[in-house]
A = this chain, B = another copy of it.
Amino acid sequence: MTNSNEDIKCPVASTLKFIGGKWKTVILYYLTSGKKRFGEIAVRIPTISRKVLTQQLKELERDGLIFKEQYKEIPPRVEYSLTDLGKSLNLVFKEMSNWGLENVLNKK
């Protein structure tokens, strides 16, 4: 989601600027179950390429939704977790999840 609809002060669109895009919600939703390593996320979401995963994680970090912990180990270990801001999306995800379950997943 670009920022050209910033001129429209739509609070819903504002939120989508943070969690819009093909993968962010999936990543964030997975992180609601706790801290995860890069590789764990990649395995859990096999259809995302590592390049794109890296990009999305960077953006989520830049936007303050997730926190990145790097351990100075070899081989490297990196863990991602939700920040308070990320956790504050909780209710949003809950409603989206409910809707998706009721109207999409349990429909087909």
Tell me the complex Cα distance, A20–B25, Å.
11
Question: Are B15 and A29 neighbours in the complex by a CB distance under 8 Å?
Answer: no
Say whether, besides A12-B26, A13-B26, A88-B103, A7 and B96 are in contact (CB < 8 Å). no
Question: Are B5 and A23 neighbours in the complex by a CB distance under 8 Å?
Answer: yes
- Nearest CB in chain B: distance from A105 CB, A: 6
- Nearest CB in chain B: distance from A56 CB, A: 12
Say whether, besides A88-B99, A105-B11, A2 and B16 are in contact (CB < 8 Å). no
Tell me the complex Cα distance, A81–B39, Å.
45
Question: Are A97 and B11 neighbours in the complex by a CB distance under 8 Å?
Answer: yes
How many copies the complex holds: the figure is 2
Can you list 5 contacts pairing A with B, beta carbon distance less than 8 Å? A5-B45, A10-B29, A11-B100, A14-B101, A91-B99
Query: Is A85 part of the binding interface, using a Cβ–Cβ cutoff of 8 Å?
Result: yes
Question: Are A16 and B96 neighbours in the complex by a CB distance under 8 Å?
Answer: yes
Contacts of A9 in B (CB 8 A): 105
